[in-house]
């Protein structure tokens, strides 16, 4: 099953040869929609295969597949609209200083994209996921390095996507699939690969990122690596609705057996009666959560060892002890620690690192200076959340605005009075954040994810007859564009 270097080379070369078939936007959009249609038709066997390999359950997997199909159709709509091309036309202006020549700018596909599938989402962040969908939408063929936790599902999905491609005259090579650790390294180093998307661990992602940068010709590497996703609960919020916040936290940190990249892993909770009620509510809810199966035994062993090491630190308590459940399962739980233990360097820094699985750390603070001190020690995150009282949310006292200002530098998505699990596929979404959450400033979810696989090019003083149709004055493709400083919303110029 492990791909050799020759097999990786053949997959990449086949992908490059398929690129011309994606040049037509109408073909790309139709391909994406057909892919969604055929995935839905194959729902039964796909979900069955994914459940057998991941134990995520038919309900969760059916919903994830629906999200994946929605994602494909969303990118098809983006391709049809054409705004992602970023067309800008400036005619000569001799009065400007310095003078402006005739300039016409738009974006073109990078080339072959390597996609590294995630373990925890066998559909939405794997072979047919957002990286693949956005790359194909940009006009880039894809070679996916399958995740070892769901190889059979990956093969089945790849077959469906190739069937969709064939219906529109697109060669099979437009979607390559390789297996194996060495194949993943060969892929990022291949000279015909022009960009890469990754979702996984800090260690694995950083190794590939470094390999991408060390190539004779470095390439962009858009990696999602790890995130603690801190939550701050104000004293007023805990007093107002501590029980509700505790129950919500339990649902978020145990969702999918804690295997979501945006699971809240550190929660700052005030000392006092409101915080005590929150912790009591959290204890009751987590205690009633059934043990679950992690994606593989390696993850299970890492989780069990990780929570044991964290629980052994001084002043760390375990109101509900996380760790091994049955022979293949793990039990959810949480740790508590005085926030003061996290304000300076030491052994407790381990509590500021992501622990993949159903566990979170509740840090009890005594005043706002401890909140600031702990937040100041955090690395970059995908999300940061604040739970406010109704008065604070309305702007009273300025506390809400002050906390948002503290959290914004830490994350790509900032939430108020919600929970980070559940990443909507929407035009305004941003799923990324400062390192190590991601290795770039882009998003892997939402319409603007397509921008990762495009590069701008400008034509200067180019005769109309030689310009690509996207940049001609008459706008024969009816594209949205900026024309001599004025936005135009599409429609061919008569």
In a domain, 134, yes or no: yes
| Structural domains in the chain (count) | 2
CB 167 within 8 A of CB 34: yes
Considering the domain architecture, whether residues 86 and 220 belong to the same structural domain is answered as yes
Considering the domain architecture, whether residues 238 and 219 belong to the same structural domain is answered as no
Considering the domain architecture, whether residues 171 and 302 belong to the same structural domain is answered as no
Q: Is the Cα torsion angle 36, 263, 312, 374 positive or negative in sign? A: positive
Q: What is the pLDDT of residues 295-339, one digit of tens each?
A: 889 999 999 999 999 999 999 999 999 998 877 899 999 999 999
Say whether 150 sits in a helix, a strand or coil: coil
Considering the domain architecture, whether residues 266 and 209 belong to the same structural domain is answered as no
CB 153 within 8 A of CB 122: yes
pLDDT at residue 492, rounded to an integer:
62
In a domain, 459, yes or no: no
In a domain, 433, yes or no: no
pLDDT at residue 397, rounded to an integer:
86
Q: What is the pLDDT of residues 240-271, one digit of tens each?
A: 999 999 999 999 999 999 999 999 999 999 99
Q: What is the pLDDT of residues 391-433, one digit of tens each?
A: 999 998 899 999 999 999 999 999 999 999 999 999 999 999 9
DSSP state of 389: -
Considering the domain architecture, whether residues 237 and 209 belong to the same structural domain is answered as no
Residue 159's region, left for phi above 0, alpha for psi from -120 to 50, else beta, is alpha
Considering the domain architecture, whether residues 273 and 406 belong to the same structural domain is answered as yes
In a domain, 470, yes or no: no
pLDDT at residue 420, rounded to an integer:
97
Considering the domain architecture, whether residues 26 and 148 belong to the same structural domain is answered as yes
Q: Which two tokens stand for residue 429?
A: 């979404």
- Burial class from Cβ neighbours inside 10 Å (0-12, 13-18, 19+) for residue 261 reads buried
Residue 230's region, left for phi above 0, alpha for psi from -120 to 50, else beta, is beta
CB 493 within 8 A of CB 486: no
The CATH number assigned to the domain holding 450 equals 3.40.605.10
Question: pTM of the entire structure?
Answer: 0.95
Q: What is the pLDDT of residues 433-461, one digit of tens each?
A: 999 999 999 999 999 999 999 999 999 99
pLDDT at residue 325, rounded to an integer:
84
The CATH number assigned to the domain holding 282 equals 3.40.309.10
In a domain, 422, yes or no: no
Domain of residue 51, residue span: 5-225+440-454
Say how many C-beta atoms besides its own lie within 10 A of residue 59's C-beta. 10
Angle between helices 43-54 and 151-166 in degrees, nearest 10: 160
Q: Confidence class of residue 494 from pLDDT cuts 50, 70 and 90?
A: very low
Considering the domain architecture, whether residues 99 and 183 belong to the same structural domain is answered as yes
Say how many C-beta atoms besides its own lie within 10 A of residue 369's C-beta. 11
Considering the domain architecture, whether residues 186 and 210 belong to the same structural domain is answered as yes
Considering the domain architecture, whether residues 121 and 255 belong to the same structural domain is answered as no
Which residues are known catalytic residues? 224, 261
pLDDT at residue 327, rounded to an integer:
79
Q: Give the pairing type, strands 411-416 and 381-387.
A: parallel
pLDDT at residue 493, rounded to an integer:
58
pLDDT at residue 45, rounded to an integer:
98
Task: Give 248's Cβ-side CA count (13 Å radius).
Answer: 17
CB 231 within 8 A of CB 334: no
Considering the domain architecture, whether residues 365 and 397 belong to the same structural domain is answered as yes
In a domain, 171, yes or no: yes
In a domain, 447, yes or no: yes
Cα 49 → chain centroid? 24
In a domain, 479, yes or no: no
Task: Give 161's Cβ-side CA count (13 Å radius).
Answer: 29
Q: What is the pLDDT of residues 46-83, one digit of tens each?
A: 999 999 999 999 999 999 999 999 999 999 999 999 99
According to DSSP, the residues that pair with 198 across neighbouring strands are 116, 223
**Average pLDDT value for residue range 113-120:** 96
Considering the domain architecture, whether residues 199 and 248 belong to the same structural domain is answered as no
**Average pLDDT value for residue range 455-473:** 98
């Amino acid at each position: 099953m492990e791909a050799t270097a020759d097999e990786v080379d053949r997959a990449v070369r086949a992908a490059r040869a398929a690129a011309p078939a994606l040049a037509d936007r109408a073909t790309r959009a139709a391909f994406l929609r057909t892919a969604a249609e055929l995935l839905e038709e194959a729902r039964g066997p796909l979900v069955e295969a994914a459940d057998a390999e991941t134990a995520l359950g038919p309900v969760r997997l059916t919903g994830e597949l629906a999200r994946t199909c929605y994602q494909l159709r969303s990118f098809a709509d983006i391709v049809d609209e054409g705004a992602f091309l970023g067309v800008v036309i400036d005619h000569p202006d001799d009065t400007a200083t310095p003078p402006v020549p005739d300039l016409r700018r738009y974006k073109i596909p990078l080339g072959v994209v390597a996609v590294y599938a995630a373990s925890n989402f066998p559909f939405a962040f794997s072979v047919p996921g957002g990286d693949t969908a956005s790359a194909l939408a940009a006009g880039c063929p894809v070679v996916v390095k399958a995740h070892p936790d769901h190889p059979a599902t990956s093969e089945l999905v790849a077959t469906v996507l190739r069937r969709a491609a064939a219906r529109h005259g697109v060669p099979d090579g437009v979607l390559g699939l390789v297996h194996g650790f060495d194949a993943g390294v060969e892929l990022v180093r291949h000279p015909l690969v022009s960009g890469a998307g990754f979702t996984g661990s800090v260690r694995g992602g950083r190794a590939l990122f470094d390999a991408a940068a060390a190539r004779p010709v470095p390439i962009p590497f858009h990696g999602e690596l790890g995130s603690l996703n801190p939550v701050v609960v104000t004293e007023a919020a805990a007093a107002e609705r501590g029980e509700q916040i505790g129950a919500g936290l339990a649902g978020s940190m145990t969702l999918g057996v804690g295997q979501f990249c945006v699971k809240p892993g550190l929660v700052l909770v005030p000392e006092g009666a409101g915080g005590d009620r929150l912790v009591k509510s959290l204890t009751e809810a987590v205690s009633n959560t059934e043990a679950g199966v992690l994606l593989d035994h390696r993850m299970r062993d890492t989780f069990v060892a990780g929570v044991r090491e964290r629980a052994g630190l001084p002043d760390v308590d375990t109101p509900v002890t996380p760790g091994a459940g049955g022979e293949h399962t793990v039990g959810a739980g949480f740790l508590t620690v005085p926030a003061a233990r996290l304000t300076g360097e030491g052994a407790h820094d381990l509590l500021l690192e992501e622990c993949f699985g159903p566990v979170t750390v509740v840090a009890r603070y005594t005043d706002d200076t401890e909140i600031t001190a702990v937040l100041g020690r955090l690395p970059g995150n995908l999300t940061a959340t604040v739970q406010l009282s109704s008065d604070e949310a309305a702007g009273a006292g300025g506390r809400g605005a002050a906390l948002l200002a503290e959290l914004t530098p830490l994350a790509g998505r900032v939430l108020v009075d919600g929970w980070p699990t559940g990443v909507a596929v929407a035009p305004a979404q941003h799923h990324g954040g400062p390192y190590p959450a991601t290795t770039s400033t882009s998003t892997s979810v939402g319409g603007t994810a397509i921008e990762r696989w495009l590069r701008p090019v400008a034509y200067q003083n180019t005769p109309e007859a030689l310009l690509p149709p996207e940049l001609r004055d008459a706008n024969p493709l009816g594209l949205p564009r900026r024309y001599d400083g004025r936005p135009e919303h599409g429609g061919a110029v008569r």
